[in-house]
Amino acid sequence: MLEQIKTKGFIKWGLVVLAGLILIVGSFSLGVFVGFKKAGFSYSWGENYEHNFGGPRNGFFLFRRMPEGVGGDDFINANGTVGSILKINNNSVVIKGNDNVEKVINIGANTVIRRQRDTIKIADLKINDLIVVIGNPNNSGQIDAKFVRVFEK
């Protein structure tokens, strides 16, 4: 047995197997982490829908509205979004994402908003502007924006 372990082939295959296991378990852990974040944000979004957007989640007059992500995926991306502006408030904007889901984007004092090469303020944003947001989700189903890029249509 000891002689077998000492051979180069055994060590080589041992390393290959270990590397494969690390890759598989690592990928699985990453998937669980990302999925947990996404599910958590989707849950917060759903729970705070009335508070954020007004009206019941399933819509008025029995029109059922369920959040539908891209391709039928029921979870919403939590760390950013791409969409067009529906409404502008003092410190936040409501956008309709590419996944047809409304999201509230909080614009803080440290949020950088760029249009072409200029840094602009929230007051310079317009309805129907296409924006890309990088940020972090909060517990109210909103995204605290760190960076916003306005695309010219």
Partner 1 sequence: MTDKLKIAQEGELEAKIREIFSNLDRLEPGEELYSSIKKAIILKKRIMVSEFVAMGSGFVVVLSLVFYSTKTVFEKISQSGTIQFFSLLFSDFKDVLANWKSFSLYILESLPTSEILLSLTGLFILFLLSGIIINFRENNKFLLN
Binding site for partner 1 (CB under 8 A): 30-31, 34, 37-38, 70-71, 77-83, 97-99, 112, 114, 132, 134-136, 146-147, 149, 151
For residue 79, the one-letter residue type is N
**Shortest separation between residue 57's beta carbon and partner 1, angstroms:** 22
Q: Provide, rounded to whole angstroms, the least separation between the CB of residue 84 and partner 1.
A: 11
What's the closest the beta carbon of residue 18 comes to partner 1, in angstroms?
22
Nearer to partner 1, 52 or 136 (CB): 136
- Tell me the two tokens of residue 135: 């940020």
